[in-house]
Amino acid sequence: GENVEQHPSTLSVQEGDSAVIKCTYSDSASNYFPWYKQELGKRPQLIIDIRSNVGEKKDQRIAVTLNKTAKHFSLHITETQPEDSAVYFCAASMGQGGSEKLVFGKGTKLTVNP
């Protein structure tokens, strides 16, 4: 079925360390993979996304890698800061052309300790 697995469910790091969150998806036709950050009580907000024709994308301290063969993608946050603490969701587009929807992982609660 349509499924996105996300690991770990919780992650605690020291300020300045790197954090890595991994996701796998089930639909080999998926071609769009966004990552969202959700702070407590707020809406999810897009932080970075990648399409299947690209293997890696970077935006300052955030990078995402995609391995289409293995059907997994990862979020990398370097030089973490306390304000990076939030829940992070990966997602993959699934469905037929023109009717794709985003299927989300269950989230990773990241805590950056000062």
Partner 1 sequence: NAGVMQNPRHLVRRRGQEARLRCSPMKGHSHVYWYRQLPEEGLKFMVYLQKENIIDESGMPKERFSAEFPKEGPSILRIQQVVRGDSAAYFCASSNQGNTEAFFGQGTRLTVV
Residues at the site binding partner 1, with contacts judged by CB under 8 A = 6, 31-32, 34, 36, 42-46, 49, 89, 93, 95, 98-107
Q: How far is the CB of 70 from partner 1 (least distance, A)?
A: 20
Contact of 24 with 4, CB cutoff 8 Å: yes
User: Which tokens hold the place of 54?
Assistant: 């690209």
- In the bound state with partner 1, the residue whose beta carbon lies nearer, of 24 and 105, is 105
User: Which tokens hold the place of 70?
Assistant: 């293995």
- In the bound state with partner 1, the residue whose beta carbon lies nearer, of 13 and 27, is 27
Q: How far is the CB of 79 from partner 1 (least distance, A)?
A: 25
What is the C-alpha separation between 2 and 26, in angstroms, rounded? 6
What is the C-alpha separation between 32 and 93, in angstroms, rounded? 5
User: Which tokens hold the place of 78?
Assistant: 């370097």
- In the bound state with partner 1, the residue whose beta carbon lies nearer, of 15 and 29, is 29
Q: How far is the CB of 77 from partner 1 (least distance, A)?
A: 19
Kindly give, in sequence order, each residue whose CB lies less than 8 Å from that of residue 101, ignoring residues fewer than 6 positions away.
93, 94, 95
Q: How far is the CB of 9 from partner 1 (least distance, A)?
A: 9
- In the bound state with partner 1, the residue whose beta carbon lies nearer, of 38 and 78, is 38
* Residue appearing with tokens 């946050």: 77
